[in-house]
Each structure stands twice: as structure tokens, then as C-alpha cells.
Amino acid sequence: ACAKSIWASAGMAESLLKLDNVTAGYGDAVVLHGISLGLPEHGSLAVLGRNGVGKSTLLLTIMGYTQLRGGSIGWRGQNISRVSPNRRATNGIGWVAQEREIFPSLSVDENLTVASRPGPWNLDAVFKMFPRLAERRSNMGNQLSGGEQQMLAIARALMTNPALMLLDEPFEGLAPVLVDELTAAMKLMLSDRKIAIILVEQHTDIALELTAEAIVLERGEVAHRAPSAQLLKDTATLERLVGLRVAATA
């Protein structure tokens, strides 16, 4: 009853996801210190910061893969702090890992359907968003280029029809033309399907263009938060907290 009243007072009823003073890490190592944030239905959040500040750990903590040392994680008004990663996925949290983690010995079709759940995101919908995957649908996962594998990882997460997508550096290591293609697809995803996203990305300009809100992490804490459009113009803060901005066209 006590936990319920805490979430109610924190506005959990209005939030899709709510982190309240979350401290987490791996074993004895604490990486995140007192992180608090809220994300509404269909919201979009960019997570920025230098390497090693805890951005990926934040996504892993939301998915339940780290050791929660303090604070609470709320999902649609329920405290899910002790809920397993599998149950979080079934409850509507989709995750695209930095390593992509597609199945190399399964075809594109099989990768997409192996964990699919009913909803608007089906094979037709993801092939419309990623025409390149439609052309490769009978290819094995290990026969795809890096960019195609990234598209497949995103499409596979969408096939679970999540309410929230966690994306960990989806543009890393991709050629500019593929970055443009993926950016266009993600804009389509955000505009057409009413899905929420949390995006960790080194391409600062793209991350801020795709999202409504942004936070910057420093040493595992939220050092700055602002509307994405406002932060995009605040070059002094970006240079101070993020460092060299990596342009997609560089």
C-alpha cells in the first residue's frame, strides 16, 4: 500500500515509464546514481553523454538486466522493480541491443516471426518500413550487411508490438546513407504507430531531431535535462557535457 501511494503521488498514473531515484550497477559496481525520469505514452527521450557515463546501463536497468540497488521502476502505474526481463518484454518493453543479437542461422522472416505478438506491427508493416528487408526476407541473418542487421533488430523488436522501444546506439558504425535510411524509418515509426522510445545515441543531432525530450548523463547522474529542440540549439551545454558532436554526415 505504501509503494502504491508513492507512485500515485509521483504521477505514475500519467506515466508510461517512471524511474524514481534509481541506483543500479553490476555486482559491487554502482554505475547509476539516483536517476529519476518519467516518460508519457508515445513520449520520446534522447539519452546523451560521453562514453562510459551509464547510458547503456540505464537501458539495461529498465529491462531488468542490472542489479537495482535503490529506487523504483514503474510501468503503467505498477512497480516492476523485481519483475524479470522476460516479463517486462511481454508487458510491452522492446529492446534493441547495441550488439543487435539477431539469429544468424534463421532467415529474415524467421527472425521476425519467432517472437512476434499480435498488433499493428506485422510482416507487412515492417517490410513497408524497411523495404530492404523485404528484398532479403529469405536470406539468413549472417548473410546481411551491418545496416541490414540493424534494420532487422529494430523490425524484430517492433514485431513484439511494444509500447516502448529502447534503442542502444542504433546508428553506430553505419555508413551515412544507411543512417539516413534508418532515421527516415524511425520518423515513420514515431509518427504512424504511436510508440514511445528511449534513444541512446552518439549522433547527437539525429537523437535530438527524433525526440521531444533529452537528458545528459555524467558519472551516472542526470547532469542536464531539456526539450530536445532547445538542447539542439544549446551548443555550449552540448560541448561541455557531450564533447565533440558526431554528425551523421561526417
pLDDT at 245: 53
pLDDT at 23: 97
Mean pLDDT on 236-248 = 75
Chain center to CA of 29: 23
Residue 225 has pLDDT above 90, yes or no: yes
The half-sphere exposure of 236 on its side-chain side, counting CA atoms within 13 A, is 0
- Measured CA to CA, the distance from residue 138 to residue 188 in angstroms comes to 25
User: Quick check: 15 and 39 in contact, CB under 8 A?
Assistant: yes
- The per-residue pLDDT for range 31-72, each reduced to its tens digit, is 999 999 999 999 999 999 999 999 999 999 999 999 999 999
pLDDT at 99: 78
